[in-house]
A and B are shown apart, each in its own frame.
Chain A
Amino acid sequence: MSPRRISVALIALTIIVLGLTACASPPTAAPTTAPAVFITVTDDAGRQVTLKGLPTRIVSLAPSNTEVLYALGLGDRVVGVTEYCDYPPEAKQKPKIGGFVNIDLEKVIGLDPDLVLATNIHAGAVVSELQKRGVTVVVVEPKNVDDVLAEITFVGKITATSDAAAKLIAQMKTRIDAIAAKTATAKTKPRVFYEIDKSLYTPGPGSFLDDMIIKAGGVNIASDAQSAYPQLSLESFVLKDPEVIFLGDHPFGETPDTVKARPGWANISAVKNGRIVPVVDVNIVSRPGPRLVEGLELIARALYPELFQ
């Protein structure tokens, strides 16, 4: 047998062995005793998840989840966060397991978590890959303000911190209801445009920001759009004539002055009346977490300055 035949045979052998391994490989994290069941829930992705015990090592795959965990007093049970988890500041000290879409599987598993809190969009394929390797994953997907409150209750339930959750929700509800009460007295609701990007990307129906605008007593000019993050044409934007503009791209350099200088924008009501609001901390209005009340208050104050002195 010539050396070439031998190495071809070796390659074939390697491929066969790989194939057999691939087919025969069971998940290695199989427990050998019958697990105690702590709780079984259905998460936002419709998955039935069984937690085998009280979660004490929690990994968060989204900044909003991290904020919820800390708000429930679970900060010391958090063992892994994303690079974008910047609130509260203590969270930044925790080990990082990746970014928004790029999660380092190895890091997550190396942290030995008994609960991974994921979101649908950010962690689609990651969820199934983690599950395959025996990790308990729960998906939360808050789409609006009410969803966030429900999520807090949910996370409280699966971490046995329902009391803290109830308290937090009560606090948030008080402030939310206060805003609703005040804005209910207004005769007309102002037309609002939230600028994600100066190419007129804006939150549309079904997005979290859209709900925030509505709950703060505003009317989103993009409410009749076809998708959650539409791009408006300049014409329809001018036609809708927003009365208040929020600059979600303020961290990227947009200011009321740069907006005023845009050609064709001079006659927009918001520009004429100087009601252009730069958003300094975008996270409080766009992150579906406990700080949304601060965001709501910020928006409401800008929409109804006379009501909120």
Chain B
Amino acid sequence: MHTTYPAHQHRGLFLLVATFIVLATGAVAVTIGSVAIPLETLWRVIAAKIPGMTIAPTWAPSWETIVFDIRLPRIALAALVGSALATSGATYQGLLRNPLADPYLIGVSAGAALGATIAIVFSFGAISLFAFIGAIGATTLIYALARAGGRTTPTTLILAGVALGAFLSAITWFLMFKGDSAFRTQQIIAWMMGSFSLGSWQDVAVMIPYLGIGWLVLYLNARTLNVLQLGDVQAQQLGVPVERVTMILVASASLITAAAVATSGIIGFVGLIVPHAVRLVWGPDHRFLLPMSALIGATFLILADTLARTLLSPSELPVGIITAFCGAPFFLYLLRRNRETLI
């Protein structure tokens, strides 16, 4: 039972340590893969790329491709998507004042799935683009639906999200049926289960601007998120323009979630479990919660992806399965330990 959370002045230290852990996890993940590259060779492969170092290559060029064009972009992507989902989850949990909120509650997953399905069934290609447009479109629609008399409340947002989500899912299933192809259906389901298996530097480059903007806006609003925990009325009485802030937060969180989902499908549990766990251990101050969730989300997903690509090699497990298997028991454990301060 917490009588107080880990001291304020140590928070910077925690963040620093978490950052190093992300980088270390990434470094370890680079050494793991279905092609066995001995460790010393691996470091020499990497070192050779540093400008100014001259190391004569004693390895096959395909190893360079594997390290720099397959493993590294994948790890980077997993880190970015993990941090995006965790940050977005933390935001939604704070905004909706609901501990069961996750990044997909306000339409992102239903919209993205519909977009991807349309792209696959009608063979438009550009699955990522369609998924992204679908996600943003669905969120906008849900926000407009929930906005009654000029204000949205957490309840109306959640209800509108569930309602429209169900509707979009129905259209998605219908399209899958109409598409009438076992292969297409398999493709759609594979996409929905989430995977980094074809991750490239291009995907990383595309994600970064969205993540950067969204993350910046969210972090700058961290203190406001704290105040929102008092409830709409009290927050308004403290001078917070609640309606405007809600819109900005929903837009930013949806932006980064949509970018994550468009790149790698619908990976669950990260956005729900990670912020929750961080909050249980360190408390609800969003100025710490947001960056810490991002870092732990990144680490978690790098680990999950590493497991996904090694457990059943050469087949790959969808990452979403790993996150669900690992996430649930961890959360149950934290729950038992901290029942008193459950938010």
Direct chain A–B contact by Cβ atoms under 8 Å: yes
A163 within 8 A of B: no
Within 8 A of A (CB), among B37-93: 60-66, 68-73, 76, 80
A185-229 vs B, Cβ < 8 Å mask (1 yes, 0 no): 000000000000000010000000000000000000000001111
Q: Are B291 and A106 in contact (CB under 8 A)?
A: no
Given A101-B187, A230-B180: A22 in contact with B34 (beta carbons within 8 A) = no
A7 within 8 A of B: yes
A109 within 8 A of B: yes
Query: A201 to B33, alpha carbons, bound, how many Å?
Result: 39
B190 within 8 A of A: yes
- What residues of chain B lie closer than 8 Å to A109, measured between beta carbons? 35, 62, 65-66, 70
Within 8 A of A (CB), among B273-319: 287-288, 291, 294-295, 309, 313-316
A121 within 8 A of B: yes
Query: A22 to B65, alpha carbons, bound, how many Å?
Result: 14
- What residues of chain A lie closer than 8 Å to B212, measured between beta carbons? 15, 19
The minimal Cβ–Cβ distance linking B281 to chain A, given in whole angstroms, is 17
Q: Are B183 and A121 in contact (CB under 8 A)?
A: yes
- What residues of chain A lie closer than 8 Å to B295, measured between beta carbons? 11
Count of chain A residues with a beta carbon within 8 Å of a chain B beta carbon = 53
Q: Quick one: closest B residue to A2, CB to CB?
A: B12
A170 within 8 A of B: no
Count of chain B residues with a beta carbon within 8 Å of a chain A beta carbon = 55
Query: A154 to B35, alpha carbons, bound, how many Å?
Result: 31
- What residues of chain B lie closer than 8 Å to A10, measured between beta carbons? 16, 19
Within 8 A of B (CB), among A14-29: 14-15, 18-19, 21-23, 25, 27-29
Q: Quick one: closest A residue to B120, CB to CB?
A: A124
Q: Are A125 and B198 in contact (CB under 8 A)?
A: yes
A177 within 8 A of B: no
Stretch of A126-134, A259-267, A268-276, A286-294 that contacts chain B: A126-134
B178-191 vs A, Cβ < 8 Å mask (1 yes, 0 no): 00111100110010
Q: Are A8 and B291 in contact (CB under 8 A)?
A: yes
- What residues of chain B lie closer than 8 Å to A227, measured between beta carbons? 180-181
Q: Which of A15, A23, A106, A226 has the largest number of chain B CB atoms within 10 A?
A: A106
Query: A2 to B73, alpha carbons, bound, how many Å?
Result: 31
Neighbour of B205 across the interface among A22, A27, A83, CB < 8 A:
A22
Given A11-B19, A19-B208, A21-B201, 16 further pairs, Cβ under 8 A: A4-B287, A8-B15, A11-B294, A11-B295, A15-B80, A18-B76, A18-B204, A23-B205, A27-B65, A102-B315, A102-B316, A104-B313, A106-B35, A112-B62, A132-B69, A228-B181
Give 6 A-B contacts (CB < 8 Å), ordered by A residue: A4-B291, A7-B12, A98-B316, A101-B187, A106-B33, A129-B200
> Which residues of B are in contact with A by a Cβ distance under 8 Å?
11-13, 15-16, 18-19, 23, 33-35, 60-66, 68-73, 76, 80, 127, 180-183, 186-187, 190, 197-198, 200-202, 204-205, 208, 211-212, 219, 287-288, 291, 294-295, 309, 313-316
> Which residues of A are in contact with B by a Cβ distance under 8 Å?
2-8, 10-11, 14-15, 18-19, 21-23, 25, 27-29, 83, 96-107, 109-112, 121-122, 124-126, 129, 132-134, 201, 226-231
